[in-house]
Homo-oligomer: A and B are copies of this chain.
Amino acid sequence: MWRIVAVDSALLNGVSEHLMLMKGKMLRPTLLLLSSEVEQSAESRAAAYAAVVELIHLATLVHDDAVDHSVLRRGMPTINALFTHQVAVIAGDFLYSRAVQELVRLGDLEALRVFAKASNELTLGEMRQLSALDALQFSEDDYEFLIRAKTAALFSGACEVGALCGAARFRDRMAAYGSHLGMAFQVVDDLLDYTGASETVGKPTGLDLKEHKVTLPLIAALRTMPRSSREAVDALFATSEPDDTQISRVIGIVLEEGGLDYARERGEEYASRADEVLAGLPDSPARRALQDTLTYVMERRA
């Protein structure tokens, strides 16, 4: 990653340094590398692709945080908070165009096609989120479209490009695994916003509600909640900066209405689809690690 972003600009090097410190689970590069090994014949270029997928991911995080005016990410200041909003916009463009340059250098048009498509889908997901006029009208179909575009597309791309580096005949299968895993990952991520503790998630619980983001637990709960609960939800969404009492109240309502259970079940469904895809692969250490990844994604508390 450092090799790809190396540049003669103190400001951009500062941005890159901060991003490297901020680095998270490295899930996308891990998936790419594991996917390249399912036939136990991974090519060395997989490492460069793994760096690229993380850089693409970082570029989107930097723009997401700028667009949302977020100040914290993984418990650390965001680029827009630490530098400026302007720097965040241009730094995201820089990271993305460097990633494209590296893809060109690697010379595989198929890998470029996969990542270009995933990157474009990410923007469609973001745009869908921005154009939601009435958040509480957001349907489960809308939610599915959104998380497919925002999360599953790049997970899928990581696994597909991994397969291209040593297990090309499993390309479609790995793409499907990555997509199901990505859906499960995002559902669990959205659940953690309702259940996780601030220390472990690295962001305050209830942040989505605070920012008026409607995710699956609330979508499910809205279907059955009585009028008095609905009024509490409406009140929260009508308040520009809802306080902790309002947020706790709505989290309680969502729990009561079975919204968390419903989301958990949908997450499990995606995870078992991913597991079924893996069942069609030959046994290997990589396949077992990909199964463990599913368990990790479903059981993580942070």
Interface residues of A (CB under 8 A from B): 7, 9-12, 63, 66-67, 84-87, 89-94, 96-98, 100-101, 104, 107, 109, 112-113, 116-117, 119-120, 122-124, 126-128, 130-131
Contact = CB atoms under 8 A, between A and B. Distances in A.
B93 A96 contact: yes
Contacts of A117: 101
A126 to B, nearest CB: 5
A122 B126 CA distance: 24
Secondary structure at the A interface, as helix, strand, loop or mixed, is: helix
Nearest to A118: B97
The oligomer's copy count stands at 2
Contact of A126 (B63, B90, B96): B90
B63 A94 contact: no
B94 A120 contact: yes
Contact of A90 (B67, B87, B96): B67
A48 to B, nearest CB: 15
10 contacts: A10-B131, A63-B89, A63-B93, A94-B123, A96-B96, A96-B97, A97-B120, A98-B120, A100-B120, A101-B116
A90 B11 contact: no
Given A67-B85, A96-B97, 10 more contacts: A11-B127, A63-B90, A67-B86, A93-B123, A94-B123, A97-B123, A100-B112, A101-B120, A104-B116, A107-B109
Contacts of A93: 63, 92, 96, 119, 122-123, 126
